[in-house]
Amino acid sequence: MSEFGRNDWRRPRINEREEAQVQDPSQMAVGVVGTGGMGAMHAENVHNMLANAWLAAVADVDSARAGRLAERCGSAAVYSDPVALIRDDAVEAVVIASPDPTHLPLVLECLENEKPVLCEKPLAGDAGGALEIVQAEVELGRKLVQVGFMRRYDPQHVAVKEAVASGSIGEPMLFKGWHRNLDQEPGLDSAAVVTNSTIHDLDSARWFLGEEVEEVYATGVNTATKLGKDVLDLQLIQFSTTGGRLGTIETNVVSGYGYEVGAELVGELGTVQIAPPSGAVVRRDRTVSQRVEEDWLQRFHEAYVIELRSWIESLGNSTSTGPDAWDGYASLVVADACIASLRSGSPQKVPTLKAPAQYATEDSEVLW
């Protein structure tokens, strides 16, 4: 029985447009779990931006909010129980954008029902939970999980990745990342800064450098008293990798000025970094200004569309090209070490990772 409730849902209301979509075998029927800001964006992108998919269902404990979203997106089926959505035979693939603590049980439910799933980060609450998913997927014998590390699809990040891969800066030796949010509501703790925000930067570092993180040292300070004096809302992580490369990550969840993400790779021959904002430059009242995005939904909207489109295409082609369950697990292994370092005040070794065969790349060690 689902912990989210049972049987409190209605069947789809099929209109002519939906009927035509259902009959088109080239379109994937997608269900979205969670209809807050992130889930609504994914649902609307499926409905408005993708030719290779259609929105079949949405699920949320707030059924009124889910119903309003469904009406905006072709009157999709509405569920208050996400497990019922996952088990619906009419839903071919699932996007999970519900609160972080629900990710582990819902991804496992998708695997139990052999449904491809795109799960927002983090894959689970900690590395132990993510390992459960990896083990379940290995037992299944095929990869069905993709993790929502959308920066890998952001054109600005891709351009940096391509510059590094071309050899134009020589071997990359240092990763520098920064991640700043406008503000944060009370209720966040120091560990959640890592698992909910810095987790993206940890994945970026692994992706850009092509190596695993070997050791971390994390420190932080409190700058926002409204969060509580013990909450380290501004954090700095220093790390080294298995290949001897270095890195720093700054995370500031209460920057006070806007949302901004950046990355720079320092190589043997030069450097490459994310392009700065390209909006209009305004000169007025003896100042020069440029707009900064308010949140990640604005900054990475294009990346989210590309991510969804690529995911659906990979399902149609029976390929797996995006960040997978192993990436979700590996990032959480590093995150757990960062949290331990914050608490202990000392550097922490990161456990050596050996990928199961179905996740192995040329550079990884095989576990089983």
Tell me how far apart the alpha carbons of residues 70 and 55 are, in angstroms, rounded to a whole number. 9
Is residue 43 within 8 Å of 71, Cβ to Cβ? Answer: no
pLDDT value at position 26?
A: 78
Is residue 310 within 8 Å of 133, Cβ to Cβ? Answer: no
Instruction: Write down the pTM of the prediction.
Output: 0.90
pLDDT value at position 11?
A: 34
The domain spans of the chain are: 16-150, 151-359
Q: Largest alpha-carbon pair distance within the chain? A: 64
Flag whether pLDDT at 54 surpasses 50: yes
The correct CATH number of 16-150 out of 3.30.70.2740, 3.40.50.720, 3.90.1200.10, 3.30.160.250 is 3.40.50.720
Q: Which of 154, 212, 236, 213 is nearest to 359 (CA)?
A: 212
- Spatial strand order of the sheet with 77-79 comes to 77-79, 53-59, 28-33, 93-96, 117-119, 145-147
C-alpha radius of gyration, the chain, whole number: 21
- Give the side-chain half-sphere CA count within 13 A for 164: 24
Q: Which CATH class is domain 151-359?
A: alpha beta
Express each pLDDT in 154-196 by its tens digit: 999 999 999 999 999 999 999 999 999 999 988 899 999 999 9
- Residue labelled with tokens 């002519």: 16
Q: Kind and range of the H or E element at 267?
A: strand 260-267
Give the residue, 117 or 225, on which the prediction is more confident.
117
Residues forming a β-bridge with 95: 32, 118
Q: Which of 88-92, 123-127, 211-215, 362-366 has the lowest mean pLDDT?
A: 362-366
Average pLDDT over residues 46-62: 96
> Would you call 278 exposed, middle or buried from its count of C-beta atoms within 10 A (0-12, 13-18, 19+)?
exposed
Express each pLDDT in 308-347 by its tens digit: 999 999 998 888 889 999 999 999 999 999 999 999 999 9
- Spatial strand order of the sheet with 172-180 comes to 271-273, 260-267, 172-180, 246-252, 234-241, 213-221, 348-349
Q: Which of 10, 30, 33 is nearest to 21 (CA)?
A: 30
The type of residue at 351 is P
Flag whether pLDDT at 366 surpasses 60: no
Q: What's the CA angle centered on 323, arms 350 and 179, to 5 degrees? A: 65
